[in-house]
A and B are shown apart, each in its own frame.
Chain A
Amino acid sequence: MNVKKNMSGNDEWAVEAQGLVKKFGNNHAVDGVDLHVRPGVIYGVLGPNGAGKTTTIRMLATLLRPDAGSAKIFGYDVVKDPQIVRQLIGVTGQYASVDESLTATENLVIFSRLLGLGRAEAKKKSSELLEEFSLTEAAKRPLKNFSGGMRRRLDLAASLIAQPPLIFLDEPTTGLDPRTRNQMWETIRRLVKSGSTVLLTTQYLQEADELADRVAVIDRGRVVAEGTVDELKMSVGNASLQIRIKDRQALNSARQIVEKVLQAPSVILPEAGRITAPMAEADRVTDLLIAMREAEIKLAEVSVQKPSLDEVFLTITGHKAEASQKTESLEKSGEMKQ
């Protein structure tokens, strides 16, 4: 039962999602997500914990049935043709989706056999992949003794057995040390060079910056911004300015000065006496410091930072990223109950 060429599949969009919705009880984990991903790119889905990133990926990967909306992978509908979609994707979840009690080799051989490889082929493929991901030495050890980084690498290796044209990576570097994280980034870049499309989720703007060609910012189950990383950053300013003032009483008047001089919205952290605001032009800092002195506000600290997800969020959504962390636990418990 081979599906003929161009019957319904196409190479125009790797991912095409319209108004995806998923509810867990009363909690709208995903509340109308639209995504369009061209083949051959790294596409980043950026958002804080509980924004709905994982739920979105699970729906696209046929692991979860959407309550509303539709999604197509290379033109194949995830609800109508899930078995075809599964032949086109590789999924690496946030939590290692490999067998803890088995060895790395056994894991890869089993997945290879399930994907239709013969006994000898499966062995060959497994050892190739283990070598590719520098896991050869650990091949015979049970995964219980693996480090987090090794597990992630094995997990990714398992997703590549069938050389799927689309790979989902759910927070591929969360919890990895900087060196392992850089290795993972290298691997992801090579994947795309070989012709794959990668859709990854991340909490870190820096990661999206390093890897992604395009980014969708997702918040409370909705896409709130979409574009290239540069476009996204321009909306926030290239860097953000942090000011800590000595006298907390003056926090509000200081904030007014900041917003007036930098002409941008700011965030205040009252406990720390800190104000953060995007800084489009470094020159303005001089003006700001002069204005502060004129207003007789004493500063404890001034620093400039690269924009963080927080600032992107603030600018795009008008609320702080942490605000939606509460929904994370809800989403998780909701998912368990399904």
Chain B
Amino acid sequence: MINNSMVPVSKRQLKKNSGLGQTVRNSLTMAYRGLLKIRRTPEQLFDVTLQPIIFTLMFTYIFGGAISGNVQSYLPVIIPGILVQTVITTSIVTGVQLREDMDKGVFDRFKSLPIARIAPLAGALLADTIRYTIATVLTFAMGYIMGYRPDGGLGNVIFAGVLVIVCSWAMSWIFAFFGVIARTASSVQGISMLVLFPLTFLSNAFVPVKTMPGWLRWFANVNPVSHLITAVRHLTNSGSVGWDFAATLIGAAVVVIIFAPLTVRAYMRRT
């Protein structure tokens, strides 16, 4: 409202930095913005709805007989593999959309507001967990339809789903970084795919690692994606939590610790 209540500068309470509380509040508001945008343009959810359905059907029936003898006994192996692959692939979109979003004028306003610098990024990444959730639910649902009955029980399946979503959120910082430094949205897609293909395919997602040549087996074993897949398999198939679970969380934390500050710094510079 334009009125006469302008507070003189010397009487204003000015803060030099945004505290943790403000950072969290700002990020949540930005996440709310992300959700509103998804609601306005539901067509951008095509990939997260179709990919789990198509991939699960395709890979299960193509590889099932060859690897596990029949489709039924392949399901406990492939569903966690597909789940991790699909959800992590989905996190690429975060980077691509961030790039598109940043080119719009509204990001200028976000930069000129006294908000936590990380909020526009953290909020966008947080809103995208809704996409991972959709992909996770659909993959499990597809598996269930095809006859997958995890022995770990519903509770552990949900737990595994949350683990995958958290890890994908961590991974999405890598793609957000590409999103911030790249010039165009399509180049983000390109670079991200180059990173993603080796990570998801050179793992234990689709085939047993022991059939690979030695050097490849070495990579597949250290690959953090393999640890995540193994952790999910243990959770869903036997309800157990082991070293892979811990390794996954450590890996996710390391990614965030490295890439979140890098991304925010690049974001601040790119003006």
Residues of A participating in the B interface, judged by any CB pair closer than 8 Å: 1-3, 5-6, 9-11, 39, 58, 61-65, 74-76, 81, 83-84, 86-91, 93, 95-102, 106, 110-111, 113-116, 125, 128-129, 132, 142, 158, 160, 163, 165, 187, 190-191, 194-196, 336-338
Contacts and interface: CB of A to CB of B under 8 A. Distances in A.
Contacts of B211: none
Interface of B: 1-19, 22, 25-26, 29-30, 32-33, 36-37, 40-41, 104-115, 119, 183, 269-271
Contacts of B110: 114
Given A91-B109, A338-B270, A163 B22 contact: no
B37 A63 contact: no
Contacts of A110: 29, 32-33, 36
24 contacts: A1-B15, A9-B10, A11-B8, A63-B111, A65-B271, A89-B112, A91-B112, A97-B106, A102-B37, A110-B29, A111-B109, A111-B113, A114-B26, A114-B110, A114-B115, A114-B119, A115-B114, A115-B115, A116-B25, A129-B1, A165-B7, A190-B2, A338-B269, A338-B270
A52 to B, nearest CB: 16
Nearest to A90: B112
A11 B12 CA distance: 11
B40 A101 contact: yes
A158 B107 CA distance: 13
Contacts of B6: 163, 165, 194-196
B2 A160 contact: yes
B40 A102 contact: yes
Given A6-B10, A132-B2, A83 B16 contact: yes
The interface centre, meaning the residue of B12, B14, B18, B26 with most chain A CB atoms within 10 A of its CB, is: B14
Contacts of B108: 63, 91, 93, 97
A338 B234 CA distance: 47
A9 B14 contact: yes
B10 A62 contact: no
A14 to B, nearest CB: 8
B9 A74 contact: yes
B267 to A, nearest CB: 12
A3 B113 contact: no
B29 A113 contact: yes
B12 A88 contact: yes
A194 B7 CA distance: 10
Given A63-B112, A81-B16, A116-B22, A191 B106 contact: no
Contacts of A75: 9
A199 to B, nearest CB: 13
A314 to B, nearest CB: 34
